[in-house]
Amino acid sequence: MSRNDLWKWLTLAILAVLSIYVTFPVKEKIRLGLDLKGGTSFIVAIDEAKLRSSIMEGDPDAAPAAVNRKVNAVLENADARAVEVIRNRIDGLGVNEPVIQSGNNHRITIQLPGIDADKRQLAEESIKAAAFLEFKLVHKLNDELVRKAIDSGRVPEGYEYADDGRSFVRTSQYQELRKDPDYARRLSLFEVPDPRYAFMLQKVVDSTGQTIYRPNFVLRNAEMTGADLKSASVESDPMTGRFFVSLEFNQKGALDFARVTKAYAPGGSRNKNSEVGRQLAIVLDGTLYSAPQIRTEIPNGKAVIEGSFTLSEAAQLRNILNAGSLPAPMKVLEKRVVDSTLGRDAVRSGITAGVIATVMVALFMLIYYSYCGLIANAALLLDLLLLPAGMVIVSNLLGVFVRDAGIAGKTATSLPVLTMPGIAGIVLTLGMAVDANVLIFERIREEFGTGKSARAAISSGYDRAFLSIFDSNITTLLTASILFIVGVGPIRGFAITLSAGILISMFTALVVTRLIFDLSVPEGRMKPYKMLSLVKTTNFDFIGISRKALITSGVILVVTLTIFLGRAFTSPTKVLAVDFTGGSAMTFSFDKRADIGAVRDVITAVDNGAVPQYQSALDDSGSMLLVKTGLSEIEGQNISVLIEEALQENLPENNFALKGEEGVGSEIGADLKRSAFWAVTASLIVILLYVSIRFEFGFALGAVAALAHDAFITLGLYSLCGRQVSLPIIAALLTIVGYSINDTIVVSDRIREDLRKDPKTDFKTLCNRAINATLSRTVLTSLTTLLALTILFIFGGGSINDFALAMLIGVVAGTYSTIFIATPVMLAWYKGHRPKFAIVKKN
């Protein structure tokens, strides 16, 4: 054994040991993403409109420039503080291993594994609450001013008189008004005696159980804030049983609180001529909770917040206060919910798909290539063994560009989080893993045809196949890297497993199988290895019919894209998923399928724009009801909750239950559309540059034309199947771009080789001959990939089923474009003449 071979075996052993180390024990080392484990993820951001409105409410006379300066001052160092406060609040809910990470544009990603619906609701409310606690004086003539306001007959926007005639209740217009950023400012100015005061409403539940709002006029400037709050706790009144939140300040806060209460107690230094103490309003996030009267100085730094609290509401308020205040109000841009049962189904279907795909690809290789197929299958099993090591290496390399706490491993030697798209990436690479082996074996077959010995044929086969394998896999890795950089969440998991699979399969195909051949092939063997030949030697005139093929492709592209774009502009929700349009997509389980007409009637009564449809899983794991809508909430309530309640109330015998939810805001949708466009564009540009460097611009132009054809024809045909374009479909298009280039590069490599060997044959004939020579490899590699994708299509539910369908269309389109698009376009660029690098110089 040579020293070089020894190092190769040693590398294999190191990778195997690393894979075993990072994988076992499985329960400790393999971490599942939220889509597999179940849980909730949020993307939240600072609500600049609400922040601006709050600043204007506090100072109505402030000039726009002054307001902008205050907004920018708050935003400057807001992210780190917001992350810390949110982390403290989530910890207060008892969530295990939450992931909280800041990003661009003051956005924060929050992942909460394994939480139930109740805790999810508390988490969302806690995240959005700013928890800015203030103590403000109520006007000394408050009762008189309130009476005047009531007697005037005027009511604030969004309210009407309550039954008692001294307070208000909200009208149906309130929920729409509250969306107006200027509404809070206008409300604060209602009937105020002077601009130093703000009109505020205190929520109270009266003796009849009705929620009413009592008016108060509160000084805008605070006497003190909760910055020096030491702790908050929940207590109850033993007489009434009502819950309240008890506050305790630190030493500085206690002194400030004593100063305020002493000054405004009856006869206090700032209330000397009154025997009645001033009311001190307790305001949290702009909401008036209580306005108790100061009867005496409170020197011990303790106070209470009273209100109509349930125990859970009081506990939530306590947790928010103890966690500290956010620098600015937050809004939820995206919410994704996955029930743990859906996660378990996804894991089961993913494992099933992987096992079946591996077995089918292995059987095909064994039957078709006999002994060589057995060696390829050994490499396939090694791919599975070494994949964890590849994932660790790739996640660390890609982590240099983007650090995603939701995907990255905990340490440099731990596995990244496994997602459902990640499992799809593994299944796909199992189909793609034998591509290099097929190319090598087809080259070996050709070398045997020249009469070479087994060892000489194997050596030449590997040498001649190397450049094609290298170039084709590098382009796929480039597109996978772009997908990781511009992708989000689980899509990055797909990019990691795809990249890892490519790297490991290259190592096993080019290095390990060669080592096995060197050890097992007898020195003097001349007999060729047995291989089937489904695709015989052909001599079709592919170039001759390329004009008709180009016209056919052009017609299909124009028709399908026209239909897609027309629907995208007129009814975007029919062709674009909530990833891009914004809105909600909900998944419901049920015990018994209800008539879809009855379901539609129930759901459209909640939201007239909601679209329900049944989805059946082909692996017999059950069926689901999918509901899509352009809304995320109605009158302040989550639309998923409203639809679930409506289904349970009107169709109780079917037992509908919410199992998953995707809620995407319009801002996120716009960002995803931009990133998707640039991802596809960047991939095509990168491939154009790479192929231009490795070959020539004409070859690159043909390759990119073929890739653009594959991407757009997949988009058009996929949309015609009634499916919506989502983020996983963009991942599929990028994968198609990276994968389809493989066949094109193999053909281009053969054309370049023949040009250098044969200086006499005309260029068009050489191109036709190269396509025929590589046709067997083109068909076989597509076939193995299609096998894996078909299994993924059958057993993958939801978005993975969509992904597999898009990939199936794309692989077929890629096989076609390699023959009928790439080479004819390249020939047209050179106008049938040989490229410069192929011209033999005469001495």
Q: What's the confidence (pLDDT) of residue 841?
A: 46
CB neighbourhood size of 483 (10 A): 28
In the 3-class helix/strand/coil scheme, how is 297-316 assigned residue by residue?
CCCCCEEEEEEEECHHHHHH
Q: What's the confidence (pLDDT) of residue 128?
A: 81
Distance from C-alpha of 384 to C-alpha of 364, rounded to nearest angstrom = 18
Q: What's the confidence (pLDDT) of residue 665?
A: 78
**pLDDT-based confidence at residue 842 (cuts at 50, 70, 90):** very low
Question: Do 774 and 439 meet the contact criterion of CB atoms below 8 Å apart?
Answer: no
Q: Which of 112-121, 269-278, 772-781 shows the lowest per-residue confidence on average (mean pLDDT)? A: 112-121
Asked if the model's pLDDT at residue 669 lies above 80, the reply is no
CB neighbourhood size of 626 (10 A): 16
Q: Which single residue is written with the structure tokens 């996983």?
A: 728
Asked if the model's pLDDT at residue 393 lies above 90, the reply is yes
Q: What's the confidence (pLDDT) of residue 619?
A: 40
Please classify residue 251 by burial: count the beta carbons closer than 10 Å to its beta carbon, then call 0-12 exposed, 13-18 middle and 19+ buried: exposed
Closest CA to 718 of 783, 798, 804: 804
Q: What's the confidence (pLDDT) of residue 789?
A: 92
Helix (H, G, I), strand (E, B) or coil at 573: helix
Q: What's the confidence (pLDDT) of residue 287?
A: 83
Q: What's the confidence (pLDDT) of residue 720?
A: 92
Q: What's the confidence (pLDDT) of residue 292?
A: 87
pLDDT per position as a tens digit, 798-810:
678 889 999 999 9
Q: Which single residue is written with the structure tokens 């070479």?
A: 452
In the 3-class helix/strand/coil scheme, how is 668-689 assigned residue by residue?
HHHHHHHHHHHHHHHHHHHHHH
* Mean pLDDT of the 475-488 span: 86
**Is the four-CA dihedral 668, 674, 677, 681 of positive or negative sign?**
negative
Where would I find the beta strands (DSSP E) of 47-163? 99-102, 107-113, 133-137, 159-161
Q: What's the confidence (pLDDT) of residue 390?
A: 96
What are the tokens at 337?
């919910």
- In Å, the largest CA–CA distance within the chain is 117
Q: Which of 210-224, 299-313, 705-719 shows the lowest per-residue confidence on average (mean pLDDT)? A: 299-313
**pLDDT-based confidence at residue 167 (cuts at 50, 70, 90):** very high
Q: What's the confidence (pLDDT) of residue 837?
A: 67
pTM for the predicted model, two decimal places? 0.77
Give the dihedral of Cα atoms 190, 193, 196, 201; nearest 10 deg.
-40
Output the average pLDDT for the chain: 87
Q: Which of 128-142, 425-439, 660-674 shows the lowest per-residue confidence on average (mean pLDDT)? A: 660-674
**Is the four-CA dihedral 277, 279, 282, 286 of positive or negative sign?**
negative
Question: Do 766 and 753 meet the contact criterion of CB atoms below 8 Å apart?
Answer: no
Q: What's the confidence (pLDDT) of residue 661?
A: 85
The phi-psi region of residue 64 (left if phi > 0; otherwise alpha if psi is between -120 and 50; otherwise beta) is alpha
* Mean pLDDT of the 100-117 span: 83
Instruction: Please name the amino acid found at residue 767.
Output: C
Peptide bond into 327 cis (omega under 30): no
Question: Do 43 and 116 meet the contact criterion of CB atoms below 8 Å apart?
Answer: no
Q: What's the confidence (pLDDT) of residue 616?
A: 60
Distance from C-alpha of 120 to C-alpha of 141, rounded to nearest angstrom = 43
Asked if the model's pLDDT at residue 839 lies above 70, the reply is no
Distance from C-alpha of 222 to C-alpha of 196, rounded to nearest angstrom = 11
pLDDT per position as a tens digit, 373-382:
999 999 999 9
